[in-house]
């Protein structure tokens, strides 16, 4: 399966989750825990949202945000990380420095053989 189709399938799974589970709890997998970003929803340019994750061992980590059609919007982390708790702030801008549009997005934490997903909502920028 292509990377695009895999990301789109992951987005569909997140959107189909029961309302009580959608992006409201941490996702735990053996080796990592990914918390819900906070605040969620958030407004780009007003204050950042924070992603928090915990690694049980040193790992090569990728943390990316994707739009609903599976396109990577921004890669926030890409490299080795030590075990422990990590926090990453995101201001809502893409890889080109432009604020993304309002809507739903998802984020994926990849740590070696393990990955976890979350969903976030971006509000329209303040006028």
Per-residue pLDDT of the chain (127 residues; tens, 9 = 90+): 455 555 555 555 544 444 333 444 466 667 789 999 999 999 998 889 999 999 999 999 999 999 999 999 999 999 999 999 999 999 999 999 999 999 999 999 999 888 999 999 999 876 5
Residue spans per domain, the chain:
3-122
Whole-structure pTM value: 0.78
Q: Going by DSSP bridges, is the β-strand pair 84-90/103-111 parallel, antiparallel, or unpaired?
A: unpaired
Within 13 A of 1's CA, how many CA atoms are on the CB side?
A: 8
SS3 state at 109 = strand
Q: Which CATH architecture has domain 3-122?
A: Sandwich (2.60)
So what's the pLDDT on residue 105?
A: 97
The C-alpha atoms of residue 81 and residue 71 are separated, in whole angstroms, by 24
């Amino acid at each position: 399966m292509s990377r695009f189709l895999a990301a789109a399938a992951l987005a569909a799974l997140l959107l189909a989750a029961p309302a009580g589970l959608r992006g409201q709890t941490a996702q735990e997998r053996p080796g990592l825990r990914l918390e819900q970003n906070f605040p969620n929803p958030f407004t780009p340019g007003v204050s950042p949202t924070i992603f928090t994750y915990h690694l049980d061992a040193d790992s090569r980590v990728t943390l990316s945000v994707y739009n609903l059609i599976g396109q990577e919007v921004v890669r926030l982390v890409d490299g080795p990380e030590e075990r422990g708790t990590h926090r990453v702030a995101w201001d809502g801008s893409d890889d080109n420095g432009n604020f993304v549009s309002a809507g739903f997005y998802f984020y994926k934490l990849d740590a070696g053989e393990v990955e976890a997903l979350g969903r976030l909502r971006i509000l329209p920028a303040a006028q």
